Chain A
Amino acid sequence: MSEKVLLSIDNVTMRFGGLAAVSEVNIHVDKGELVGLIGPNGAGKTTLFNLMTGVYTPTEGDVSFDGSRLNGRKPFEIVGSGMARTFQNIRLFKALTALENVKIAANIHRQASLFDVVLRTPHLLKLDGELDAFSRDLLQQMDLADVADVRSSDLSYGLQRRLEIARALATKPKLLLLDEPAAGMNPQEKAQLMGLIRQIRERFSLTILLIEHDMKLVMGICERIYVLE
């Protein structure tokens, strides 16, 4: 396998009961690519995402990321190794503010024990300070700074989408998986989103895999496209 390959899916099959949601799929994504994944409803696009991020373990076949096999690893471990995602139906932490949403994701690379937390040791205060600065900075970059302290459920739909991307970015991923990021957006918003995706790709030197129905958007930004049927 070449050095360039970041993610590869080899002959993956997923069955629920007797039903095969995904069968014998092969995908590979190289470093720095922006790849699109399209297909009709029920083709198993989201299932594939779930297989990559560890929500499901494939019935057959292998998923490997950055040179290591992912089968059977827990979602939170996979995030730690550098793969973050957004959800088709927005899944923010609704009662928490935008800033808190980002902080939770950013917290992943930090080491603070329960002891530190409970006694509020200087170590913790320092880490908390850094985290706060990092998260606010990220929100700034995503044009979300002025809604940092707003409950995420009170945000507009477009902002919620953007916050979800910001939250995924906070885990400092190598590969970003976007599940229908443009769903429910009007053309103007979609154009904005396209700009945003390009922009973050540059800025964070990301590899991106995205699921989308809107062919215009997919054709517009993707370098390669997989079709799932």
Chain B
Amino acid sequence: MQAFLQTLIYGVETGAIYALIALGYTMVYGVLRLINFAHGDVYMIGAFVGFYACTQWLPFKDLSQHPEAAAVNIALALITLFLSMLLCALLGITIERFAYRPLRNGFRNADAHFWGFVIALPVTAFVGAMSTTKRQGALLFAGVVIGFIMRPVMAHLTKRIKPSSSRLNALITAIGVSLILENGGINVFGADPKFIPDILPKRQFSLLGVEFNSSRLIILIIAAILMAVLRYIVLYTRPGKAMRAISHDIDAAKLMGINTDRVISFTFALGASLAGAAGFMVAAFTNIKVVPLFGLQPGLKAFVAAVLGGAGNIPGAALGGLIMGVVESLVASRYPQWRDAVAFILLIVILLVRPAGLLGKNTAEKV
């Protein structure tokens, strides 16, 4: 019984993380009916922001040598949390603006310029790698030159591109963005695993024979707070209401004077910041390896969790995440090799019974 309870607690801890990531998936899906495959990679970026903040940008103290610095570290950790949320929100907005908006509104001039620059980036890096001196100035110059050449070329090539409504298309675009972030991550951060050192004091205690760990509890508490804030935003604020309006009917929302593009941006920012927070917390408080593929598996699991709960349904995502975490944990304690399979089998079974997920509304197509 105790062992069961313990396993359950572990499941909830994992599930909270899935839930945080799943919320981002589900919000975007609710608003745009798009599987934002890049969401897991935003989570990865959050972890990397955390890594660089903890090891280079911010003056964290090594607790094993300065035990008195705990208070300072806690303050800095909070700053890091906001920093990764902020940077990830910006990333989310950028992704939406230049990868998904062209799908809705057509490929505009500004998009051509942006992608021209993006294509120029690896070329620039290549020029940088070629020059033996590796002078930063030359590199920057080459980048600007190539970027300026690429922009009009792109802009010219892509005149009069109409928006596409194909779902498959949107999916492949999202996968493409995910691949850019992963492979770009390998080029920028390197593929070798990185670990965030211990930044917070840890304490272990047991209650009724069940082991608790302070850093895990922190994750749980912060996750709960963030979800509560999200719930408040979605239910009671103007942009939150606009979000819900869009998820019901984007065209009607547009006609009612809602600036849909801005609200969609906001949705992405919200989802991405949650993923960023989760990425930082997981990397910093569980000290698992931070690699460019950090978000692949959790991203997929979280997405499955979102679908499980009913894509587009916010409480559903939280519930789906928790269920996934608990079921995985229970299976892993007995048959660990089937852990990943169980996630999918559970999904398949639930979707066959309830095609719209646990809390999703089953809307039959109108004839």
B353: CB under 8 A from chain A? no
A-B contact pairs, 4 of them (CB 8 A): A46-B367, A50-B367, A55-B367, A87-B367
Within 8 A of A (CB), among B223-261: none
Minimum CB–CB distance from A181 to chain B (whole Å) comes to 16
Q: Mark A37-59, 1 if CB is under 8 A from B, else 0.
A: 00000000010001000010000
The range of chain B's interface size is under 10
Collect the chain A residues with CB atoms within 8 Å of residue B367's CB.
Answer: 46, 50, 55, 87
Q: Mark B353-367, 1 if CB is under 8 A from A, else 0.
A: 000000000000001
Number of interface residues of A (CB under 8 A): 4
Within 8 A of A (CB), among B317-367: 367
* Chain A residues proximal to chain B, CB less than 8 Å: 46, 50, 55, 87
Collect the chain B residues with CB atoms within 8 Å of residue A46's CB.
Answer: 367
Closest to A75 in B: B367
Closest to B366 in A: A89
Collect the chain B residues with CB atoms within 8 Å of residue A50's CB.
Answer: 367
User: In the bound complex, what is the Cα–Cα distance between A46 and B367 (angstroms)?
Assistant: 8
Closest to A55 in B: B367
Minimum CB–CB distance from B150 to chain A (whole Å) comes to 34
Minimum CB–CB distance from A16 to chain B (whole Å) comes to 9
User: In the bound complex, what is the Cα–Cα distance between A55 and B366 (angstroms)?
Assistant: 11
User: In the bound complex, what is the Cα–Cα distance between A50 and B367 (angstroms)?
Assistant: 8
Minimum CB–CB distance from B354 to chain A (whole Å) comes to 15
Closest to A16 in B: B364
Minimum CB–CB distance from B166 to chain A (whole Å) comes to 11
Minimum CB–CB distance from B75 to chain A (whole Å) comes to 53
Minimum CB–CB distance from A44 to chain B (whole Å) comes to 13
User: In the bound complex, what is the Cα–Cα distance between A87 and B367 (angstroms)?
Assistant: 7
Closest to B365 in A: A55
User: In the bound complex, what is the Cα–Cα distance between A28 and B294 (angstroms)?
Assistant: 65
User: In the bound complex, what is the Cα–Cα distance between A5 and B367 (angstroms)?
Assistant: 27
User: In the bound complex, what is the Cα–Cα distance between A223 and B367 (angstroms)?
Assistant: 27
Collect the chain B residues with CB atoms within 8 Å of residue A87's CB.
Answer: 367
Minimum CB–CB distance from A19 to chain B (whole Å) comes to 13
Minimum CB–CB distance from A74 to chain B (whole Å) comes to 15
Minimum CB–CB distance from B363 to chain A (whole Å) comes to 11
Minimum CB–CB distance from A216 to chain B (whole Å) comes to 27
Closest to A49 in B: B367
User: In the bound complex, what is the Cα–Cα distance between A55 and B364 (angstroms)?
Assistant: 11
Collect the chain B residues with CB atoms within 8 Å of residue A55's CB.
Answer: 367
- For the complex of A and B, list the 4 residue pairs with the smallest distance between their C-beta atoms, beginning with the closest: A55-B367, A50-B367, A87-B367, A46-B367
Closest to A50 in B: B367
Minimum CB–CB distance from B43 to chain A (whole Å) comes to 38
Minimum CB–CB distance from A94 to chain B (whole Å) comes to 12
User: In the bound complex, what is the Cα–Cα distance between A55 and B367 (angstroms)?
Assistant: 9
Minimum CB–CB distance from B251 to chain A (whole Å) comes to 15
Within 8 A of A (CB), among B169-217: none
